[in-house]
Amino acid sequence: MGRPPCCDKLGVKKGPWTPEEDITLVSYIQEHGPGNWRAVPTITGLMRCSKSCRLRWTNYLRPGIKRGDFTDQEEKLIIHLQALLGNRWAAIASYLPERTDNDIKNYWNTHLKKKLKRTQTGVTIDDTPTSRSQQPSKGQWERRLQTDINTAKRALYEAIAIDIPNSPPSILPYPQLPPPSTTYASSTENIARLLEGWMGGSGKQDGASTSSSEARTEPEPEPSETSMLQEGPAGPLSLLEWLFDESECEGLLDMKLDTGDELF
């Protein structure tokens, strides 16, 4: 509070990123790795604030990002996780490693919210703990959390059981992030694709839009959502294991109790 924003310096550029800026940022990250964002503008000479650099990387340039339409399974997963976690997009995004929290948030706000409102007659999406301003009062928070967890567990179980009939949900591995060893190579691919889009495209907009539309038609085979969930070494914790772990719920409740909130 009272702390000046990081981006109020004179000469800090705002607005859409140019291809040159993207390349500069990716080059820096290839060399130094993501992190120490404060140093990025200084070292690279980018006239961007550190936050802007980080955001550009995490939401757009980071390798392994899947763009374009969300699959049915992704949609279901988002809906269930939103019911469970509320608008904690970063947490939700951790279960969809190929999607960014910004993407999920946008997709939720522009598509899923409306879709759910249409389909859920009588029960609106506003009944879930969403924004801070919409958060129920403290006691209600506890009750809704428990209700949401139970509902989400059941619904998610059903959703996954339908989509992956041969895979017992209990053995679903936690979706894996791309291995670090491929990170920078992949980001080079990202940039190459971006440049293709910029050079071949009409140049009507910034790189973001051009490449995102390109990504939609990209012929490169994408792993299906089921394979995304099934393949690779099992992660530290399966989604369902986490969901069905009662101690986790108790932990959450304990955390709330620690803050002095009344339970009921």
Partner DNA sequence: AATGAGGCCAACCGCCTCGTC
Partner DNA sequence: CGACGAGGCGGTTGGCCTCAT
Residue number, 246 or 258, with CB nearest to DNA: 258
Minimal distance, residue 1 CB to DNA, in Å? 6
Amino acid 34 reads P
Instruction: Give the number of other Cβ atoms within 10 Å of residue 2's Cβ.
Output: 3
Question: Contact between 212 and DNA (CB under 7 A)?
Answer: yes
Residue whose C-alpha is closest to residue 240's, from 178, 165, 155: 155
Binding mask 154-193 for DNA (x = CB under 7 A): ----------------------------------------
Which residues are CB-contacts of 58 (< 8 A; sequence separation ≥ 6)?
A: 100
Which residue from 101, 70, 71 is spatially nearest to 85, judged by alpha carbons?
101
Structure tokens at 250: 């108790």
Q: What would the two tokens of residue 175 be?
A: 């979706």
Integer Cα distance of 216 and 67 in angstroms: 7
Closest approach of Cβ 74 to DNA, in Å? Answer: 13
Distance CA 54, CA 15 (A): 14
Q: Please, where are the H alpha helices in the chain?
A: 19-32, 39-44, 50-56, 72-85, 89-93, 101-107, 113-119, 138-163, 183-200, 207-217, 225-230, 239-243, 246-258
Considering the complex, state which of residue 132 and residue 221 has its C-beta at the smaller distance from DNA.
Answer: 132
Footprint of DNA on 85-124 (CB under 7 A) = 87-91, 101-103, 105-107, 109-111
Select 37 or 244, whichever has its Cβ closest to DNA. Answer: 37
| Contact flag: residue 56 with DNA (CB under 7 A) | yes
Asked if residue 204 binds DNA (CB under 7 A), the reply is yes
Q: In terms of CB distance, is 169 or 194 closer to DNA? A: 194
Binding residues for DNA restricted to 220-249, rule: CB under 7 A = none
* Residue 144 is a binding residue for DNA (CB under 7 A): no
- Nearer to DNA among residue 15 and residue 165 (C-beta): 15
Using rule CB under 7 A, residue 52 touches DNA: yes
Binding site for DNA (CB under 7 A): 1, 3, 5-7, 13-17, 35-39, 48, 50-52, 54-56, 59-60, 67, 87-91, 101-103, 105-107, 109-111, 130-133, 204-209, 212
